[in-house]
Amino acid sequence: MKTLINIENLAVELQSKVILSQVDLSLAKGEILGLVGASGCGKTTLLNTLAGFIGQSAGSIEINITNNQQIKITLEDMLPAEQRNIGMIFQDYALFPHLSVQENICFGLKKLTKVEREKRCAKLLTLLELSEFAKRYPHQLSGGQQQRVAIARALAPQPSLLLLDEPFSNIDARLRNELMIEIRQLLKRLGMTAIFVTHNKDEVFTFADKIAVMHQGQVLQIGPPAQVCQQPNSWQVADFLQLGSWLPVTLPVDGNHAVITSLIGQIESSAIVNTLSDNKCDALLNYQLLVKPSDIALCQQQASNVIIEHIGVTEQGYHYLLSSIEQNSALAFSQLSFYSQELFVLGAKLAIKLQGEHFHLYQAS
């Protein structure tokens, strides 16, 4: 597939503060990328930089509009936003309150003839099932309808790339999933390339083909959601995606036959599937083991080592949050997730042990 957008070594500084650095991203035509990360990580800044609302301080952006038409945005040639052929859907939709739905959609079509304009507008109205609202004003529409107008408006000038800033945050939770699927199907049908920003990882799994996890202005990992979930490349990625609980461990000083020790048992270092960024296993550093609920089992034989802090009910059974009884140790933990069909009482003391075969080990930040 052909690359539609290629971002190289992009950096942004605002008021001499580094907001983005060393961002490399590339997307094929028709791909949908979900940009996630904690608030303040720079994901909205990245969108605004792509759109042209913020100037980059280093790096370049290339967009292949068609096979033989390409625009390149560099430090020397910062194309103004209106010439980038990029559409955007704003978090608050930014519909023009003084214009009707139809006029909103036609806003970016002034270069077309009247007939063409009306034709395209009618097509979009049909596509997004807005025909009956064409003459209404934004404040007369529901949140979901407003969003569809925003999408229709952004699609009207036929942008090569669509940016969506937290597009679903204002939508009723029950409708959200349905709407996401509907819009995803629409974008796929149009072959539209899109980047959307969210802080909700579930949205990414439903909506995106690819996920990019951002942290402190950098893209930590990018790839298909399943791959990223199975192979998180850093503590931050695993933590943000909430792939499991964190269990503090110590590493052996002597590298070869070492065992990795925690308050709930030991595992062989060979069970670690990922490679640490620096191979020097420094005992002074703070290492944490990514533990999935399925990696923990009750074991009656030994003395109790954890206490139940919280009990939740799920469809699969009870969800317990456990903390270590021993709290003075450097290895003390809390909020370890554990599922069981059995009902315990709050404050009950249990004995658990590690039982999995493959683990991820990270240096905590």
List the structure tokens of 81. Answer: 């936003």
Kind plus residue range of the DSSP H or E element containing 324: strand 317-324
Q: Minimum distance from CB of 164 to other proteins (Å)?
A: 11
Q: Between residues 165 and 295, which has the closer beta carbon with respect to other proteins?
A: 165
Should residue 41 be labelled a site residue for other proteins when binding is judged by CB under 8 A?
no
Q: Between residues 100 and 216, which has the closer beta carbon with respect to other proteins?
A: 100
List the structure tokens of 153. Answer: 């408006």
Query: Could you tell me where the DSSP H helices lie in 208-353?
Result: 225-230, 235-240
Q: Are residues 125 and 109 in contact, defined by beta-carbon separation less than 8 angstroms?
A: no
Among 163, 183, 194, 213, binds other proteins (CB under 8 A): 163
Should residue 36 be labelled a site residue for other proteins when binding is judged by CB under 8 A?
no
Mark 90-119 with x for binding to other proteins (rule: CB under 8 A) and - for no binding.
Answer: xxxxx-xxx--------xx-x---------
Q: Between residues 7 and 163, which has the closer beta carbon with respect to other proteins?
A: 163
Among 7, 19, 33, 86, binds other proteins (CB under 8 A): 86
Should residue 82 be labelled a site residue for other proteins when binding is judged by CB under 8 A?
yes
Q: In angstroms, what CA-CA distances link 275 with 7, 165, 255, 257, 258?
A: 28, 34, 14, 17, 15
Should residue 153 be labelled a site residue for other proteins when binding is judged by CB under 8 A?
yes
User: Residue 164: which residues within 8 A CB-CB, separation 6 or more?
Assistant: 88, 89, 194, 195, 196, 197
Q: Are residues 60 and 76 in contact, defined by beta-carbon separation less than 8 angstroms?
A: no
Among 156, 195, 222, 237, binds other proteins (CB under 8 A): 156
Should residue 17 be labelled a site residue for other proteins when binding is judged by CB under 8 A?
no
Q: Are residues 126 and 149 in contact, defined by beta-carbon separation less than 8 angstroms?
A: no
Q: Are residues 36 and 214 in contact, defined by beta-carbon separation less than 8 angstroms?
A: yes
Q: Minimum distance from CB of 28 to other proteins (Å)?
A: 22
Should residue 157 be labelled a site residue for other proteins when binding is judged by CB under 8 A?
yes
Q: Between residues 139 and 280, which has the closer beta carbon with respect to other proteins?
A: 139
Should residue 154 be labelled a site residue for other proteins when binding is judged by CB under 8 A?
yes
Interacting span for other proteins (CB under 8 A) from 60-68, 88-96, 227-235, 242-250 = 88-96
Q: How many residues bind other proteins (CB under 8 A)?
A: 29
List the structure tokens of 243. Answer: 């792939």
Among 22, 70, 83, 230, binds other proteins (CB under 8 A): 83
Q: Between residues 86 and 220, which has the closer beta carbon with respect to other proteins?
A: 86
Q: In angstroms, what CA-CA distances link 43 with 38, 214, 233, 336?
A: 9, 7, 19, 29
User: Residue 1: which residues within 8 A CB-CB, separation 6 or more?
Assistant: 28, 29, 30, 31
Residues of the shown chain interacting with other proteins in the complex, contacts defined by CB under 8 A: 48, 51-53, 80-83, 85-88, 90-94, 96-98, 107-108, 110, 153-154, 156-157, 159, 163
